[in-house]
Amino acid sequence: MATNLKNLSDYDASKVPDAGKMKFGIVVSEWNNEITDVLCKGAYETLRQNGAQEGNIFVKTVPGSFELTLGAQFLAEYGEFDAIICIGCIIKGETPHFDYICDSVTKGITDLNIKYNKPFIFCVLTTNNINQARERAGGKHGNKGDEAAITAIKMAALGSQMRILKG
């Protein structure tokens, strides 16, 4: 759904599973940190508001959005997480670099979901300018970090339910 039709911070709390026993990794790009810091704060606070324990939320940074995939893979390989949130912000410039980075990060995060059979949540803004990014990082469209946290909780709960079915 288009962001302009939905506030990224709105969710029905009654439909969010309790995250009290879940463990989350968050990998955050340092590039465009004016935006990524706000997204990370939103994700962290939303996880906490939905029961996640402070000691069960592990945050690591990487230099840029391109490095999110490997940073998330490191979290998956060296930690026991129910879900990993990948936070970045790619702002279109004057060269095709934007397209290459967006494509690579999207494919990389998608591949991690399949490789590890666990949720890697795509919280990477891909905007035309800094104002669009600000609108999605606590501005008029809410905070994409909030949405990513709710998605992480719901997908972690779904994975847990499926493992129970499998026995």
Q: pLDDT (tens digit, 9 = 90+) per residue, 107-130?
A: 999 999 999 999 999 999 999 999
Confidence of residue 3 (pLDDT cuts 50, 70, 90): low
SS3 content of the chain, % helix, strand, coil (to 5): 55, 20, 25
* Residue 147 confidence (pLDDT): 96
State percent of the chain over pLDDT 70: 96
Domains and CATH numbers, the chain: 22-166 (3.40.50.960)
Query: What is the arithmetic mean of pLDDT over 58-83?
Result: 98
Q: Taking 80 as the threshold, does the pLDDT of residue 6 lie above it?
A: no
Q: Taking 50 as the threshold, does the pLDDT of residue 11 lie above it?
A: yes
* Residue 165 confidence (pLDDT): 75
Per the prediction, the chain carries an average pLDDT of 94
Token readout for 167 is 């026995």
Q: Taking 50 as the threshold, does the pLDDT of residue 139 lie above it?
A: yes
pTM of the full structure: 0.94
> Which residues does 165 contact at the CB level (< 8 Å), separation at least 6?
none
> Which residues does 163 contact at the CB level (< 8 Å), separation at least 6?
none
Is 97 catalytic? The answer is: yes
Q: Please, are residues 50 and 152 in contact by the beta-carbon 8 Å criterion?
A: no
Q: Taking 50 as the threshold, does the pLDDT of residue 53 lie above it?
A: yes
Which of 123, 117, 125, 66 has its CA nearest to residue 90? 125
Confidence of residue 1 (pLDDT cuts 50, 70, 90): very low
> Which residues does 143 contact at the CB level (< 8 Å), separation at least 6?
8, 9, 38, 39, 42, 136, 137
* Residue 163 confidence (pLDDT): 81
Identified catalytic residue from 6, 20, 34, 97: 97
What distance in Å separates the CA atoms of residue 156 and residue 18, rounded to the nearest whole number? 11
The DSSP annotation for 47-60 comes to HHHTT--GGGEEEE
